[in-house]
Chain A
Amino acid sequence: MILLNGYVEAGYGAVIGALGAYGAWLLVRGARLKRALVPAPVEQERHQKPKD
């Protein structure tokens, strides 16, 4: 890595870091919301024994 002057690296780092963090946050939030929409099995169904 060629060292420039510190300011350039800071500028690129801020852009890549911030966009990466925001993108990751959106992905995680989307996955959590999707999981929240999956209906959880009710208590009876969970403890029901198979009939056969």
Chain B
Amino acid sequence: MSTRVIRGIIGFTALGLVAATVVMGLFVTPPDAVQGNLARLLYVHPPVAWVAYLAYGVTSIASALYLWRPTRSRRWDQLAVASAEVGVVFTGLTLVTGSIWGRPAWGVWWTWDARLTTTAILFVLYLGYLALRRIPTSRETRARRSAIAALIAFIDVPIVHESVVWWRTLHQGATVASLGTNSKIHGIMAWTLLLGFVAFTFVYFWMTMLRFQVERLAEQVEDEEFKNWELERAAESEISSGAIATLLGDGIGDRDDTLIEHKVR
């Protein structure tokens, strides 16, 4: 089965699962006893945050594999950037959906709470990673530099996750981790939440595969452009040397250089 077919299957599965999550989240699940309909944001906010963690985890593994000489390959670097970019999109969505939830629940769009602040730092760190890749340099230098940056940025991921335990925060503690044992959530709500996690994980895989392909194609186009530029340069120099040889053969070589240059043009 070709990559394109696999990507198509994952894409359509993701589409179907997201549609099911939306239907379940908006129409089927009951409103929460305390937060009412506002709790329906539960089915999108934690899943997009989870995907951001997943994406940065994949970026870190790919970066480490690139840095380790026995496994060094361009593909690891391409996977790292693909996953990081998707991760940035999902981190942005985590911040946006959290802010939308925070306004009616806490009365503010934003507060310098530990969970919110560490998530914002995570967003900026990976934006910095993407910016670092834009600095013009050789591919090897860029890949090595950004792999180190990705590993440093990943330190913030466990800090974000544990922030609700380490500091007193407005943000609620870990609910999802205790779903199995001491669950205080209605069955259908828990299943819809699980569906949301699966759906957005599929979206992540589809987007990362697509972004990975875009990165590979972009590098191929860059290589082609460089090859064409080199060929043009070679052809130009061949024409120039041919013209000079003709002029020299005509006996013009004895005259001054400016005249030869003029004729060549």
Which of A's residues lie within 8 Å of B, judged by CB? 2, 4-5, 7-8, 10-12, 14-16, 18-19, 22-23, 26-27, 29-30, 33-34, 36-37
Q: Please, which residues of chain B bring their CB within 8 A of the CB of A2? A: 26-27
- Identify the stretch in B41-49, B237-245, B250-258 within 8 Å (CB) of chain A at 4 or more residues: B41-49
Whether the pair B97, A15 counts as a contact (CB closer than 8 A) is yes
- Identify the stretch in B67-75, B136-144, B168-176, B216-224 within 8 Å (CB) of chain A at 4 or more residues: B216-224
Which of B's residues lie within 8 Å of A, judged by CB? 18, 22, 25-27, 36-38, 40-41, 44-45, 48, 89, 92-93, 96-97, 100-101, 103-104, 203, 206-207, 210-211, 213-214, 217-218, 220-221, 224
Whether the pair A30, B104 counts as a contact (CB closer than 8 A) is no
Whether the pair B224, A37 counts as a contact (CB closer than 8 A) is yes
Q: Please, which residues of chain B bring their CB within 8 A of the CB of A8? A: 26, 37-38, 40-41
Docked pose: A23 CA to B207 CA in angstroms: 7
A11-B101, A19-B203 known; A5-B38 Cβ under 8 A? yes
Whether the pair A37, B93 counts as a contact (CB closer than 8 A) is no
Whether the pair A33, B44 counts as a contact (CB closer than 8 A) is no
Whether the pair A30, B89 counts as a contact (CB closer than 8 A) is no
Q: Which 4 A-B pairs have the closest CB atoms?
A: A33-B217, A4-B37, A26-B210, A11-B100
In the assembled complex, how far is the CB of residue B91 from the closest CB belonging to chain A, in whole angstroms? 11
Docked pose: A42 CA to B103 CA in angstroms: 60
Whether the pair A18, B37 counts as a contact (CB closer than 8 A) is no
